[in-house]
A = this chain, B = another copy of it.
Amino acid sequence: MTTLKNDVFDRRESSVRSYCRSFDAVLATARGSVVRDTSGREYIDFLAGAGALNYGHNDPDMKAALLDYVLNDGITHGLDLFTEAKRSFLGSFERLILGPREMDHLVQFTGPTGANAVEAALKLARKVTGRTNVIAFTNGFHGVSLGALAATANSSKRMGPEIPLPGVSRLPFDGYLGDDVDTTDLLGRMLADPSSGLDAPAAILLETVQGEGGLNVASARWLQRVASLAAQHGALLIVDDVQAGCGRTGTFFSFEAAGITPDLVVLSKSLSGFGLPMSVLLVRPHLDQWEPGEHNGTFRGNAHAFVTARVALHKFWSDVDFAEDIVRRSVLVTDRLTELTERVPGLRRKGRGMMQGLDVGDGACAAEIIRRCARNGLIIESSGAENEVVKVLAPLTTPDHLLRKGLDVLADATVGLAMAVPA
């Protein structure tokens, strides 16, 4: 697919590479919502590091702090030793995020990928409860290391029969059987029935909006009922806020609107603010039953990420302005996508906040739209069981004119395709 014949990518990179197959420019620099390739061509970025760049590329304030830190020989790699950078981050996270939300959670620094943090969450939940089983949902995505993969629903990521993916029971997510069926009825019934065959769960693991699963949204009522069932049956509630967190849905945590407080929260992607690898697991104090060193990893102390993360918290979460900005931009996206669904039959708007997209019916159609967008200067991707949902994952900081411009490109590609292909 890539046109870079005889390039080192062609000679030496594994065939597992993926995004570069639908967008094969070689990127060089980036700022805000715009990236530039080696030939100088610019693209609006509606992929945003798959949600890792909520504040855009190379935010000037984070950049300045990082440059200053590196220039002064700030320690880069700190394992889980105490560092000034980690202390500052922790202090800001406590003051700006946890405190105002009355969350008494402790912070576990895990290996700096979401999957590492999900693994820690599952291990801790099993240790604390003495139970094995974890309930995860249809279309959930939680990473590809073995423990996390067991909870991931996507068959293209799950393995063949060569290795069992143990310890997970699968239940239908909100809306899986249509709007009329409350899928917590099945969950509640199976949890209460000693002969349901659902082993008592250590945890219920969920995303409030399923990013890779196709922008499926759990309603507040559904989340509340799941939280209540978890508490009632001695299971920890784990929210994987890797993609939906850090402001993507309008609040710092995606579950704030539902008024629930998970026992464990997984954060990653946009946590460092700058796209640097960083993950944490938030743990209610009474559940923090780790022995020292029981879970470890070499890159838990990525100080560069702590430095930029702290700036991100101060710049964007010190007051309500940014949250209000996100809401405003979300309305813009909602309006434009709704308009599109009215123009083109068969489209469906999905998601919420700045995590919305268009279900265009099938993956081939989505792929064609993505190709057309790429040709017109917009990087955008799809998700969903069949990659049928084109996902608008613009930086939350995208200026309105660029957001509109990107949405225009998407609209043109979509309408153009609809006209080219008879329904």
Contacts and interface: CB of A to CB of B under 8 A. Distances in A.
A195 interface: yes
A67 to B, nearest CB: 6
Interface in A10-64: 11-21, 23-31, 35, 38, 47, 49-53, 57-58, 63
A14 B290 CA distance: 8
A166 interface: yes
A377 interface: no
A346 B71 CA distance: 46
Nearest to A138: B196
A107 interface: yes
Interface stretch (A139-147, A225-233, A414-422): A139-147
24 contacts: A1-B292, A13-B90, A13-B109, A14-B290, A19-B79, A20-B81, A26-B83, A27-B81, A30-B75, A35-B75, A111-B113, A111-B144, A113-B297, A115-B297, A122-B146, A126-B162, A138-B193, A138-B196, A153-B196, A155-B195, A155-B200, A176-B189, A181-B181, A277-B302
Which secondary structure dominates chain A's binding surface?
loop
B288 A14 contact: yes
Contacts of A66: 70
B76 A275 contact: yes
A277 B305 CA distance: 10
Interface string A350-389: 0000000000000000000000000000000000111000
Chain A, interface residues (CB within 8 Å), range: 35 or more
Interface in A169-200: 169-170, 172, 176-177, 181, 185-186, 189-190, 193-200
B15 A288 contact: yes
A282 B111 CA distance: 21
Interface stretch (A127-135, A314-322, A333-341): A127-135
Contacts of A268: 298
A94 interface: yes
Interface in A273-320: 274-277, 281, 283, 288-299, 302, 304
